[in-house]
Every structure is written in C-alpha cells, then in structure tokens.
Amino acid sequence: MELTGAEIVVNCLAEEGVEFVFGYPGGAVLNIYDAIFKQNKFKHVLVRHEQAAVHAADAFSRASGKVGVALVTSGPGVTNAVTGIATAYMDSIPVVIISGQVPTPAIGLDAFQEVDAVGVTRPCVKHNFLVKDVKDLAATIKKAFHIAATGRPGPVLVDIPKDVTAHKTEFVYPDSVSMRSYNPVLKGHAGQVKKAAQMLLEAKRPMIYTGGGVILGNASEQVTELAKLLHFPCTNTLMGLGGYPASDRQFLGMPGMHGTYEANMAMQHSDVLLAVGARFDDRVIGNPAHFAREQRRIIHIDVDPSSISKRVKVDVPIVGDVKQVLDELLKLLKASKEKPDEPALNTWWTQIELWRSRNCLKYNRESEIIKPQYVVEKLWEATKGDAFVTSDVGQHQMWAAQFYKFDKPRRWINSGGLGTMGVGLPYAMGVQLAHPDAQVACVTGESSIQMCIQELSTCKQYRLPVKIVNLNNRYMGMVRQWQEFFYGSRYAESYMDSLPDFVKLAESYGHVGMRIEKPADVEAALKEAFSPALKERLVFMDFITDQTENVYPMVEGGKGLSEMILAEEL
C-alpha cells in the first residue's frame, strides 16, 4: 500500500519501537502531526520550547538506554533545538531529531521559516540527512537510528521538506542497514588486550578511570568485576558516575577540576592507568603537560579511535566496544596464573587511605544557614540513594556529583560536555517518562532552572511528579566562585536579582511549592516531598542556601591535577 511521507515517518518510528516523541508542531511538520493524531503506537509529548524537546529525548535515552526521539518544525524549530542537539553530541547520546523543512521547490529561496538545518546542525551531529525524495525516507530513518545508536553514539538529524511528507510511495521498512562507509570496530585487538592484562598484573600503583563510555556501553558490571578481581582503586568521571558503585570502599570519588583529593592524587601518581570510555578531558586531567610529568603507562579502551591519544599519549590503545573488550580482558585475567602484586598494592592502598583521610569534601555542619552539600546528603538519605538525579550546570551540579553516591549506572543525568544550563527540568521529564514509578529529583539552582522554567507546564500536562531541589543562593554560583578566586571578588553580573517567588510560581503551574530557610527544616521537607502523599505531585523545593559557599577541591584551569585548592587552605 502506498503511504504519504508523513505516514511513513510515523510507521518508521513505530517499527523502531519508539515509545515517546518529544516535540512541538509548526507549519512544516503539520502533515506529520496529522499522521501522529491518527495513530496510537507511540505517545507525543508536547514541550513548551524545542530545546526542551531534545533535552527530554536525550534524558529519556540516558536513563533507558534506548534512542530518544524529538520532532521539531523548520526554521526556529530547528535553531531552538540546536542547544539540545549540541548537548547530546558532546555527551554522545543517541537521539534522532526529525525536523520539518520548507517544501523542496522553496529551499534556498529564503522562504518563511526556512533555515539550512543540515548546515546549522552539521558541527553538532554525528550525521544528518536532507530527504529530497519520499522513496528514500524509510531507508534514511532506518539509517538514522542505526547511526545514532551504534559505535560512539550521537544525535542524528533527519530534515524532511513538507512536500516530501505529502508525496506517496510504497512503504517498506528495511530489516537491516549496511553501509560501506560506516562500520564501527567492536572487537578489541586480541594482542593489545593481552598486553593490557599483562600490564595490569605488573602494576604497583594501578588506577581504573572510567567515563561516560562505560555507562553508554552498559559495561559497569564488567568494570566492577575487574576492580574487585584485582582489588584496584576506581574513579568515575562526571559522565561516568554510577559506572562503579560509589558507596564501595574501592571507589575514590570523581576525578578532575572538582574531583576528590584522593582520586586526583591517585590519577597523578599511578604507574598503570586503565582508562575505559573516558577521554582525558581538560576538566578531568587539567594541564596535560603537568599530567605527563609523572611516569605512568596508560591503557585506553574506547569505541572511538579519535578519542585515543587526542590529549594524552597512551601506551596500549584498544579500539572496541568497552563491554566486549572488558569481557575479553576479564577472561584473560581470570585464566592467568599470575596475580596482582599484593605487597605493592597494600602500600598503594595505605597511601590512598592517607589521601582519603584529608576528608576533602568536608564542610561546616554547624552553619545556621543551609549548606548546599547538606541538602544533597539529605536528598540521598530521603531517596535511600536510589533516585534518578538530574542536574543543571554549576555549583549545584558539582555538589550533586560529589555528595549523591550513585551505585548504579544511568541514575545520574547531567550535561557534562557542553555544560548546558537549563537541562535539569527537561531531563527530569525524560527520565520520569522512561521510569514512571521511579523517584526523580532535579538538583538545580535559581539561575539554571529559569532557563527552561516553562517546562513546569509540560510536567503538569503529563503529570510528571518530578521533585525539584532548588539550591537557591541568589548567584550564578560557579561564576561567582571564579570571580571570587580569579577576578578580585568583582561579581560582575552574577547576582540574580528580581527572582520570582518560586513557591507561588510552582503553585501557579498547579504544583506544590515549598520554601526552606533553616538547616533544621531540610530533612522534613525532603521527607514530605518524597512521601506517598505527594507521590503524584511535582514538588518545587526552594532551599535558601549559603551565598558564599564554594565547591572544593578545585583544580584551577591550566593547573595540574595534584595542585588542588582545598577548603581548609582558604
């Protein structure tokens, strides 16, 4: 039977098993929306801004492991989506974005709501397509899902002119995709894996450093097994939190700019570093020249060859799917007669415990003003450490990462690479839809939350009982912190004046609002928000926190990992 392009789009999404499409209608996608109206295979979630559509689709993917889908119209629909697309790109999240385009005869004529979507998004997608012929539509969408989800994942945009959605053709959805130009390597080189196993067994000061690739590659079980088998210390990057259980003793916390003292010192002083699905990002290793000063051998497992030896030279590169490679590595290690060097490991652990005893995350617990760290600790208790936590970007993000101990993968959802303020609330929506019965907390600040605050309306429409933990210090906290440290405390434009009454704001959207001003009330407020009585409600908790609190430890930009500023030094 012949179908219209719009019907083909809807059928393709159904074939892919899509559950939710996050979108916003407009002229160029009206045919597609009409086809959506007539189907019941998937649900459309109407956001209040296209940026949020992509963020929600992105978070749906992060929390579920499936491909997220967003649908936007041409022109401003696409440009609004760009922030969301770039966010997903930087964190390698599989999202398919379908955008409307002006009809093919109008392309290039500066038509109403025309923008070169393929051109605008090219630098921030894994790949993109402009479909000019309805006969290519189904195969292109199949390719888009395939490319988004395989290899190093990422967003893929499919731009469909309006006339193509009206044209008809026979609908055939391909079973598989074969592309001569795209065949990601999944199996690690056997010789290299063997070399890696040997190197690990010889290590005297080993360190396992894992990133977002372990979460995306569903390899946290393998990482945990490996660390346990060898009794090696482990650190997870901001993107990799939950890759190894944070409440376990072998976990040293997060490394990097706001990493723990023990994680950074162990990274710096290790003699064998096993990097898995991590990319030696500037926020993780600081100054690469300083990092290279210490002699160490590096094993790097990553699905993306271009991530290897990009910022730091490695000794044993292994390109492949992290899960497959770790399975191979585990097999070799288990079969090996050699065992790790126990005396050396004991000495190493003694050193690590000494670093750990600095207690680098300590803060003033006697304070009469609410300390943001305290709120996150109490959130962890109130949710029994089992919530999905989204965050925005800034100090609150770092505190959430430092103080909420993630024991499972896909529980911590944040914008690590692009650092997009405003993701928190739309992320929480995507997560809540992926896990309707789960506790979802959005740890945010008064500045970030206002960047996508309109989504409170979407939450009402779809009854998403997200719990918003607003750490309100009346400042763009991280900007303020940098200004305090590096700009002589000249707080240029970082004070958030004229804030709304968040309680009334939440109420005006039909939600529950709370303001918490005293440390003594923090625990009760969180307990109430997560109580069965409010299970179905969105609760906006506005915590009035200490304006001068800073995130420690801190590695200043351009400095080395072992050159941290610690709280007590100030």
Partner 1 sequence: MRHIISLLMENESGGLSRVAGLFSARGYNIESLTVAPTEDATLSRMTIVTKGSEDVIEQIIKQLNKLVDVVKVLDLTEGSHIERELMLVKVRASGKDREEMKRMADIFRGRIIDVADMTYTIELTGTGSKLDAFLEALDDGAILETVRTGASGIGRGDRILKV
Catalytic residues: 50, 112-113, 162, 478
Q: Of 225, 192, 191, whose CA–CA distance to 208 is shortest? A: 225
Measured in degrees and rounded to the nearest 5, phi and psi for residue 49 equal: -165, 140
d(CA 312, CA 299): 11
Stretch that binds partner 1, among 237-245, 300-308, 407-415, 543-551 (CB under 8 A): 300-308
Build a one-symbol-per-residue string for 74-113: x at contacts with partner 1 by CB under 8 A, - elsewhere.
----------------------------------------
HEC string of 460-485 equals: HHCCCCCEEEEEECCECHHHHHHHHH
Identify the three-state secondary structure at position 222. helix
Say if residues 326 and 188 touch (Cβ distance below 8 Å).
no
Choose which of 3, 12, 71, 130 interacts with partner 1 (CB under 8 A).
Answer: 130
Which CB atom, from 181 or from 350, has the smaller least distance to partner 1? Answer: 181
309 binds partner 1 (CB under 8 A): yes
Q: Using CB under 8 A, which of the segments 166-174, 303-311, 444-452, 522-530 binds partner 1?
A: 303-311
x/- mask, partner 1, residues 9-28, rule CB under 8 A, reads --------------------
Positions 239 through 268 that interact with partner 1 (CB under 8 A) = none
C-beta separation of 329 from 194 below 8 A: no
Helix (H) or strand (E) holding 68: strand 68-72
* Beta carbon nearer to partner 1, 118 or 554: 118
What angle separates helix 322-335 from helix 190-202, to the nearest 10 degrees?
Answer: 60
Please classify residue 249 by burial: count the beta carbons closer than 10 Å to its beta carbon, then call 0-12 exposed, 13-18 middle and 19+ buried.
Answer: exposed
- Residue closer to partner 1 (CB basis): 130 or 333: 130
Q: Which of 32, 147, 230, 541 binds partner 1 (CB under 8 A)?
A: 147
Q: Which residue among 127, 194, 195, 283 contacts partner 1 (CB under 8 A)?
A: 127
What kind and span of H or E run contains 319?
Answer: strand 316-319
- What is the nearest approach in angstroms of partner 1 to the Cβ of residue 54? 20
User: How many residues bind to partner 1 according to rule CB under 8 A?
Assistant: 17
DSSP strands (E only) in 402-523: 412-413, 440-445, 467-472, 512-516
290 touches partner 1 by CB under 8 A: no
Give which of 221, 215, 275 is closest to 240, Cα–Cα: 215
- Least Cβ distance, residue 226 to partner 1 (angstroms): 27
- State the nearest-atom distance from the C-beta of 122 to partner 1, in Å: 5
Neighbour order of strands in the sheet with 155-161: 43-46, 20-23, 68-72, 95-101, 155-161, 127-130
**Quick one: which of 288, 305, 385, 510 contacts partner 1 (CB under 8 A)?**
305
Of 50, 299, 83, which Cα lies nearest the Cα of 195? 299
Q: Do residues 494 and 479 make contact, with C-beta atoms less than 8 angstroms apart?
A: yes
Minimum distance of partner 1 from residue 179's CB (angstroms) = 8
Radius of gyration, CA atoms only, the chain: 24
Instruction: Please state, in angstroms and rounded to a whole number, the distance separating the CA atoms of residues 74 and 165.
Output: 13
Between residues 67 and 453, which has the closer beta carbon with respect to partner 1? 67
Which residue, 56 or 312, is less far from partner 1 as judged by CB? 312
Q: How far apart are CA 506 and CA 492, in angstroms?
A: 29
214-231 exposure pattern, b = at least 16 Cβ within 10 A, e = fewer:
bbbbebbebbbbbbeebe
Least separation in angstroms between CB 104 and partner 1: 13
CB-nearer residue toward partner 1: 153 or 513: 153
Smallest gap from Cβ 129 to partner 1, in A, equals 9
Shortest distance, CB of residue 267 to partner 1, whole angstroms?
22
Query: Interface residues for partner 1 in 107-126 (CB under 8 A)?
Result: 118-119, 122-123, 126
Cβ–Cβ contacts within 10 Å for residue 337, how many? Answer: 5
Beta carbons of 96 and 67 less than 8 angstroms apart: yes
Q: Does 349 bind partner 1 (CB under 8 A)?
A: no
Q: Are 514 and 541 within 8 A, CB to CB?
A: yes
Select the residue interacting with partner 1 from 17, 228, 247, 306 (CB under 8 A).
306
For the bound state, the minimum distance from the C-beta of residue 8 to partner 1, rounded and expressed in Å, comes to 21
Interface with partner 1 (CB under 8 A), residue from 7, 16, 163, 304: 304
**Residue (180 or 337) nearer to partner 1, CB:** 180
| Distance separating alpha carbons of residues 553 and 569, to the nearest angstrom | 10
Among 66, 189, 195, 310, binds partner 1 (CB under 8 A): 310
- Min dist CB 188 to partner 1, Å, is 17
Selection from 434, 425, 352, 359 nearest residue 390 by Cα: 425
- Pick the closer one to partner 1 by CB: 119 or 557: 119
Q: How far is residue 262's CA from residue 294's CA, in Å, rounded to a whole number? A: 16
Name residues contacting partner 1, limited to 163-192 (CB under 8 A): 179-182
From CA 441, how far away is CA 445, in angstroms rounded? 13
Q: How far is the CB of 147 from partner 1 (least distance, A)?
A: 6
Q: Which residues here bind partner 1, judged by CB under 8 A?
A: 118-119, 122-123, 126-127, 130, 147, 179-182, 304-306, 309-310
